[in-house]
């Protein structure tokens, strides 16, 4: 009978005689995910999986399932599909394409430092490639140590904790459990802050100093914060560190240039404030004509940045009287961002 834990590699067991000299490490990078295609059917499948996660929506299950299947999944997929169509590329969903580029660059640096016994792969929390699928690949490759890095700089229950749930759910089915290291946040990592500051500095060198620099983070129901989720505090720490770094550079920014907001709210509940769209309208009405906006919460550009920040919120600002609106891209696969991600992994990979 074939053992699930003694996967074969070149005809020999990884957990047999050679295991002492061939310790294998699997590095799993994860992000949220995207629909398989920008049509109503695929978007509905994606939203069903995403919005069924109790970490994402904490309404009593029976009530939420009635709302989800009776209302949300009947009307939202068609609308969301049009939004995805507006950002889709020939290669596919931007988030997945960028995540794969990140994985390739991280893998190249890690394997240069640690050799081919460290395997770096990418998985999506919802959609494909799934976390369970990639973990099963690691299992077949004989991984003895697992390092998980969710690409969410600021810890949040609906993102980071949900990733841990998915990893745990898969590992619970394994006979042999590798040692596990889970990186739950890097909101204050010095190289991450430096990469953000570099991206802002490069933008300002081309476009000039805006009237306001808006730091827009993904939103969260306020109740989550009241129940103990540290996301808001971590966003504030990132903001303060980025502000400190930028003010230390000769860019011409002052403390008054910085505004912190929260975007992408869903439903009628009160979310973390101030809201990005309302703030943009207010800033324009107060006479701010030139605005730059960045979202430190996103490690890769996706629907919430390429459509919501780049287009939807641009329209809000312009219609309210603004004139110049610039979205500063996510860090994506910038070399300084890759260096930051590698810096998070290196200490764990150095451990014996």
The residue out of 68, 87, 106 marking a domain boundary is: 87
Same domain, 315 and 199: yes
Establish if 144 belongs to a structural domain: no
pLDDT score at 6? 41
Strand intervals (E) in 45-165: 118-124, 145-150
Establish if 204 belongs to a structural domain: yes
Establish if 185 belongs to a structural domain: no
pLDDT score at 22? 59
pLDDT score at 352? 56
Count CB neighbours of 344 within 10 A. Answer: 17
What's the full length of the chain, in residues?
Answer: 352
H or E element that contains 153? none
Establish if 164 belongs to a structural domain: no
Establish if 127 belongs to a structural domain: no
Same domain, 195 and 322: yes
* CB-based burial label for 163 (10 Å; 0-12, 13-18, 19+): buried
Establish if 32 belongs to a structural domain: no
DSSP letters for 296-346: TT-SS--IIIIIIIIIIHHHHHHHTT--EEEEEPP-TT-HHHHHHHHHHHH
The residue to which tokens 């909101």 are assigned: 187
Same domain, 82 and 194: no
Establish if 267 belongs to a structural domain: yes
Distance CA 124, CA 46 (A): 11
The residue to which tokens 């629907």 are assigned: 303
- The list of the chain residues with pLDDT below 70 reads 1-22, 352
Instruction: Name residues whose C-beta falls within 8 Å of residue 319's C-beta, 6 or more positions apart in sequence.
Output: 281
pLDDT score at 268? 84
Taking the CA atoms of 309, 312, 315 and 317 in sequence, report the sign of the dihedral they define. Answer: negative
The residue to which tokens 């081309």 are assigned: 206
Q: Find the CATH number of the domain harbouring 197.
A: 3.40.50.1400
Establish if 82 belongs to a structural domain: yes
- Please state the domain count of the chain: 2
Which residues span the domain enclosing 45? Answer: 40-87
């Amino acid at each position: 009978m074939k053992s699930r834990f003694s996967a074969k590699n070149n005809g020999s067991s990884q957990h047999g005689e050679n295991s002492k000299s061939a310790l294998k490490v699997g590095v799993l990078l994860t992000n949220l995910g995207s629909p398989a295609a920008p049509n109503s059917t695929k978007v509905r499948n994606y939203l069903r999986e995403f919005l069924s996660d109790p970490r994402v929506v904490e309404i009593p299950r029976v009530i939420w399932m009635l709302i989800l299947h009776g209302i949300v999944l009947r009307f939202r997929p068609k609308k969301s599909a049009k939004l995805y169509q507006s950002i889709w590329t020939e290669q596919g969903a931007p988030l997945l394409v960028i995540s794969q580029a990140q994985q390739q660059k991280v893998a190249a640096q890690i394997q240069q430092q640690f050799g081919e016994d460290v395997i770096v792969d990418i998985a999506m929390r919802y959609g494909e490639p799934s976390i369970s699928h990639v973990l099963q690949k690691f299992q077949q490759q004989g991984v003895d140590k697992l390092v998980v890095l969710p690409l969410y700089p600021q810890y949040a229950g609906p993102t980071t904790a949900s990733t841990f749930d998915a990893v745990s759910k898969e590992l619970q089915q394994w006979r042999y459990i590798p040692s596990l290291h889970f990186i739950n946040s890097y909101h204050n990592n010095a190289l991450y802050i430096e990469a953000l500051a570099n991206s802002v500095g490069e933008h300002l060198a081309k476009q000039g100093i805006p009237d306001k620099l808006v730091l827009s983070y993904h939103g969260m129901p306020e109740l989550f914060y009241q129940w103990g989720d540290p996301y808001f505090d971590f966003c504030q720490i990132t903001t303060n560190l980025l502000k400190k770094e930028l003010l230390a550079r000769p860019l011409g920014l002052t403390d008054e240039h910085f505004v912190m907001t929260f975007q992408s709210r869903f439903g009628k509940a009160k979310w973390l404030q101030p809201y990005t769209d309302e703030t943009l309208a207010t800033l324009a009405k107060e006479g701010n004509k030139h605005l730059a906006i960045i979202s430190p919460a996103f490690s890769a550009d996706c629907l919430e940045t390429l459509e919501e920040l780049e287009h939807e919120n641009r329209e809000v600002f312009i219609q309210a009287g603004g004139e110049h609106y610039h979205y500063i891209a996510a860090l994506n696969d910038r070399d300084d961002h890759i260096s930051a991600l590698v810096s998070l992994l290196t200490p764990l990979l150095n451990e014996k």
